[in-house]
């Protein structure tokens, strides 16, 4: 947390209907769409559609000084510098700008999809104590077609099997084909179809805490069966997740 964001603009969000009763990671009918480069993602994040109850999330236009004040408030986070600082800073500023819209204000999470899946890259940050829990997670098969552990393509299209970048809010739990699972609502244009695509937190036997290339999902940030219930218990009911790119493998 030793660098400050100079400016972060979060564009207004509009409402989108909720779609319940989907199988975890089950693709729906394919719709036209485009793959997104890292530069396009940076330009588009924070400008998407979102569930009705979050339609009036605030637009934030922070000066360097205001960003510094926000980050100073959270300077106790990640004392061991485990989380990529730029991603954590962006998540913190977004959270603070829209704090009243996150029912779970105890935990904030960051996923760094730049990192190889061999590495722990799903970071859960305790906003009270500052402690960080790092774990392995899968990415979509469409994001890593040669299965080398590197996600190099992202998308927001049903049937693509790709991971989506951007801000998420955790929603309700349910029991699906992977057992206990947690629905996610995408808050950015880069992940606005997360719910209709059934992009959720669930357990998968192809994910482990070993330093090996993990198996691939249909776009879900799947975790180990051993971590699933603890993770879902901590971040369910309205916690912020930011999936971004640090640029560091």
Number of domains forming the structure of the chain:
1
Please tell me the predicted confidence (pLDDT) of residue 30. Answer: 28
Please tell me the predicted confidence (pLDDT) of residue 111. Answer: 99
**Is residue 189 in some structural domain?**
yes
Give the range of the structural domain holding residue 221, as residue numbers without chain letter.
Answer: 36-50+61-244
What pLDDT, in 10s, does the model give residues 139-159? 999 999 999 999 999 999 999
**Is residue 30 in some structural domain?**
no
**Is residue 3 in some structural domain?**
no
Confidence of residue 214 (pLDDT cuts 50, 70, 90): very high
**Is residue 145 in some structural domain?**
yes
> Residue 123 maps to which CATH number?
2.40.440.10
Q: What percent of the chain has pLDDT over 90?
A: 74
Please tell me the predicted confidence (pLDDT) of residue 63. Answer: 85
Please tell me the predicted confidence (pLDDT) of residue 62. Answer: 80
**Is residue 216 in some structural domain?**
yes
Global pTM value: 0.80
**Is residue 72 in some structural domain?**
yes
**Is residue 122 in some structural domain?**
yes
**Is residue 127 in some structural domain?**
yes
What pLDDT, in 10s, does the model give residues 39-95? 444 444 444 444 544 444 554 578 889 999 999 999 999 999 999 999 999 999 999
The DSSP annotation for the chain comes to --S--S--EE---EEE-----PPTT----------B-HHHHHHHTT-SEEEGGGTTPPPEE--HHHHHHHHHHTTTS-TT--S-HHHHHHHHHHHHHTGGG-S--SEEEEEETTS-TTS--EEEEETTT--EEEE----BGGG-TT-SS----B---TTS-----EEEEEEEEEEETTEEEEEEEE-STTSTTTTTTT-EE-B-TT--SSSSPPP-BSS---B-HHHHHHHHHHHTTT-EEEEE--S--
Please tell me the predicted confidence (pLDDT) of residue 120. Answer: 98
């Amino acid at each position: 947390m030793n660098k400050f964001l100079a400016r972060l603009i979060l564009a207004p969000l509009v409402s989108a209907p909720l779609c319940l009763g989907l199988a975890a990671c089950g693709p729906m009918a394919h719709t036209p769409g485009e793959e997104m480069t890292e530069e396009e993602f940076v330009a588009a994040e924070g400008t998407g559609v979102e569930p009705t109850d979050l339609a009036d999330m605030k637009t934030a236009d922070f000066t360097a000084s205001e960003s510094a004040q926000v980050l100073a408030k959270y300077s106790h986070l990640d004392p061991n510098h485990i989380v990529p600082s730029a991603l954590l800073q962006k998540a913190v500023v977004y959270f603070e700008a829209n704090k009243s819209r996150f029912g779970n204000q105890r935990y904030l999470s960051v996923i760094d999809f730049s990192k190889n899946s061999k590495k722990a890259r799903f970071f859960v940050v305790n906003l009270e104590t500052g402690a960080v829990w790092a774990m392995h997670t899968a990415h979509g098969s469409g994001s890593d077609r040669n299965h080398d552990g590197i996600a190099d393509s992202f998308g927001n299209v049903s049937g693509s099997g790709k991971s989506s970048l951007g801000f998420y809010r955790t929603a309700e739990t349910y029991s699906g084909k992977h057992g206990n699972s947690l629905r996610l609502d995408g808050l950015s244009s880069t992940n606005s179809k997360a719910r209709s695509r059934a992009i959720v937190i669930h357990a998968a036997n192809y994910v482990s805490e070993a330093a090996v290339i993990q198996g691939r999902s249909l776009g879900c940030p799947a975790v180990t069966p051993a971590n699933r219930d603890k993770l879902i218990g901590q971040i369910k009911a309205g916690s912020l997740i930011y999936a971004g790119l640090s640029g560091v493998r």
